[in-house]
Structure 1
């Protein structure tokens, strides 16, 4: 199936031959559904914090970070093309009457943060044909919004000028991701073709933010590694070949960013999507809960480190305590093990990366949610499961998804070092059986593509996980351009 030329091509592009061969086998056998046992709920996998607890945990975090490096990791490479799907259709057919989204856009035009810049392209924007206005926003001859990443679009209007999501993450970073030495470390994953524009914007805004907030920003970037791309196959599961005979590789989704995360060195890492930002007047809940969750992380980590450093004298009591406080489950036969075996199991379970995941109440948004998932040893673990990972043909499993109370807003705080201060190799804590296979096409030919286990799904499946309920006010993503007309973005 793979000839010698293929193997040379694979090696030259930096991919691992054994991984490629494993990917082909995964196409053949498919990925199993997660064995979800039930949706997590408050008191059963999800922690609810009182106002007093939020305040106390925030104080703990602020004290603990004095000697820690804190970093904010923001996946920001995605283009904003899907934000403008309806507007692209309008430019193509110029039929405003049949395009409700385009009508809403034009009716609210003056309320968008980019209105002033867009107006500069016209003598009188209000007299210009609607399709020309939209085209000027999207096209490379205008503002390029149809091809730029979301990070660089003007989202929010302020008296001193509009802010992009990248700039909003600067401001957020000051308020909860500032290290003890006063440095705010922000890391953005970007596409190579957009890196110069990111660097240009950072160069323009960084001095002003540093002056306004009295901090120093350390801004770094990385690209999704070509070596993480996955092979594409045809519907006979043979390598899909380009017209010149070479094998097609495709980017493997946000799960590929696990390698980027693995390269970073920090004590506490916040992860948040680029488009989930709000104006300053609405940031208070975000600031409060980010710090509270970080305080919970620090406390959990301190308990784990204490047990690993000082030893476990009463494994049964420790296991009970970990279950009651942190929902950490032991294997089904744990009670029948010898004391030494129990201690060994607990040490293995505790010596892992830790993540605290904020969860909002389910409002019908598509995407993943918190579930209890059965493991091979009979225990259960807390996992973020995507809809595609649940067998919807199974009425019982489908009902679990339908009746779930919470949703994953991608609100993570991570600790990636062990009790000796050494970085974990995060790739060792990924569940490779949780990838995704999708149908695509290229040059008119159908193909199957594969995504690696999602960054906050299977890529972190073997981490120690806590789910915490956070206010819905902390979740305000921008999926379409008209979302920017919502009150939360004005």
Structure 2
């Protein structure tokens, strides 16, 4: 199947031949469906923090923050192209819809309006004259193309999202400001952005400009670094008959493997508490307080549950092995971490039970914020049956479910909550052990999609998603968070919603 030249290319990509063969096998057989048992709901898999508990948890987090390692991890490589899908269709083909009408009517409300006005003025074009004449195709051209702001070719993180009296801010800047509040360890704020190679220099240039200003304003020191998806996380593409797809020069085609590829970037990081949040989920200052509170609440709960895990591990290390300890472990996993052992667990010996729990304790911990389901596409919180016979909480995407199975589809449709990519994780275990995150993913989860290149159809493969398959073997707690903490920008007109207007 592979030539000597192919093997050299695979090696240069940093991928083992075994991994490539595994990927091709997944193309041939597909990925097995996950068996959902029931939706996780408040009191049965989703924790609700009462209003009167919030202040105490915030204080607990603040009291510990100076003595632990904090990191804010922001996936920021996503292109803004899809934000402007309707606008591109209008610019290139004259296709208009109600979103185009709203765009034109409220053009002045966008944070990028002044920049757009300036860009057009450089070509002696007055934007107000064009607005009055209804020449919105020309305006869209200057917004999207390199003759103006080039927003259609930039990542979301570099676009102007919010307007303030002091000027407009990008999502990158909003994340810097967020970091000063909840990722601040004794005045040091560590933030890691994953970016695409072609835009890295732009991110670095922006940071060089704004970092001194925000350090002075907030009295902090930022430690900001970047990484790119690794070539070794790309997946091979195949023809429709599952043979390797070849480019016009006969080389193999590798493609970026979705956000699951970022597990390798996360694995390179370290921290007692790592906050993960997408680049476009930011709000103006007047709405940030709720986000600050719940990030600290999640952080405090994470540290609390992690300490309980450490206490159990210390007990086992010191020779604890009686039935009382096993009962306490069983209760902790059932009632706190919502994980149930295999069906025949009660027939096991005490030594087998203790070994089972010792293995379960020795893994990364994550708390996932969950908002009430308002019809957004994406993953939700479920109880699921795992390949090892255990039952645990999983973030489940629709593609992981056999929707042709009426029972499974009905269960999926009962989800009361939605995963907004609001995670707080610990990458360190007992006695400071740094986990190897690749050891805790389910390689039998993933997605297969149909694409095309050079007029030829092909199949592409995504790795296990970062917050579902890539973290399937983590110790997991789902916590309800307010809907206001979830404000993604999927289309440019989302910036016109009141949540994004200053």
TM-score (norm 1): 0.98
In structure 1, stretches of 5+ residues that fail to align are none
Match 1:461 to one of 454, 468, 472 = 472
| Contact 1:332 1:377 survives alignment (8 Å) | no
1:156 to 152, 158, 162: 162
Tell me the equivalent position of 1:5. 5
Query: Is the Cα–Cα contact under 8 Å of residues 360 and 470 in structure 1 kept in the other structure?
Result: yes
Specify the SS of the correspondent of 2:424: strand
1:364 corresponds to 2:375: yes
* Cα deviation code 1:282-321 (max 9, x no counterpart): 0111011100010000000000001001224420233123
377-386 vs 354-363, greater mean Cα deviation: 377-386
User: How many residues are paired up?
Assistant: 487
For the Cα contact (< 8 Å) 1:316–1:335, is it kept in 2? no
Given that 2:70 and 2:274 are in contact with CA atoms closer than 8 Å, whether structure 1 keeps it comes out as yes
Deviation at 1:57, TM superposition (A): 1.6
- Which of 313, 317, 325 is equivalent to 2:336? 325
| Equivalent residue, structure 2, for 1:93 | 93
Contact 2:336 2:477 in 1 (8 A): no
The 5 Å alignment of 1:204-219 reads: 204-219=209-224
1:382 deviation in Å? 0.5
Instruction: Give the whole-Å Cα distance in 1 for the aligned partners of 2:22 and 2:432.
Output: 33
Residues 64, 298 of structure 1: 8 Å contact kept: no
Partner of 1:405: 416
Distance 2:89 2:447 in 1: 29
Indicate the SS of the match to 2:153.
Answer: coil
Match of 2:314 among 305, 309, 315: 309
Q: Which 4+ runs in 1 deviate beyond 4 A?
A: none
Residue 146 (1) aligns with residue 155 (2): no
- What corresponds to 1:249 in structure 2? 254
1:76–1:280 distance in 2 versus 1, CA, 3 Å: same
200-209 or 118-127, which deviates more: 118-127
CA distance in 1, matches of 2:286, 2:88: 32
- TM-score when normalising by structure 2: 0.95
Shift of 1:209: 0.4
- The runs of 5 or more residues in structure 2 that have no matched partner are none
**Match for residue 137 of structure 2?**
131
CA deviations on 1:48-68 (whole Å, 9 max, x unpaired) are 000122222212111122211
> 1:395, CA displacement in angstroms?
0.9
- Find the counterpart in structure 2 of residue 41 from structure 1: 41
Equivalent position to 1:173, from 176, 179, 182: 179
CA distance in 1: counterparts of 2:273 and 2:416, whole angstroms? 28
Rounded Cα–Cα distance in structure 1 between residues aligned with 2:250 and 2:329: 59
SS of residue matched to 1:382: strand
| 2:488 counterpart of 1:477 | yes
Corresponding residue for residue 191 of structure 1: 196
Q: How does 1:56-455 map to 2 (within 5 A)?
A: 56-95=56-95, 98-120=96-118, 121-122=120-121, 123-128=125-130, 129-179=135-185, 181-311=186-316, 312=320, 313=322, 314=324, 315-455=326-466
State the distance in 1 between where 2:335 and 2:383 align. 15
Per-residue displacement from partner, 1:116-157 (whole Å, max 9, x unpaired)? 111112342122221111100000111010000000000000
- Listed one character per residue, the Cα deviations across residues 355-381 of structure 1 (whole Å, up to 9, x for unaligned) are 000000000001110111102343211
Equivalent in the alignment of 2:500: 489
Provide the rounded CA distance (Å) in 2 between the counterparts of 1:301 and 1:266: 13
**How far apart in 1 are the matches of 2:339 and 2:309?**
12
Shift of 1:100: 2.1
Distance 2:307 2:342 in 1: 23
Counterparts of 1:317 and 1:263, CA distance in 2: 34
1:16 Cα deviation after fit: 1.6
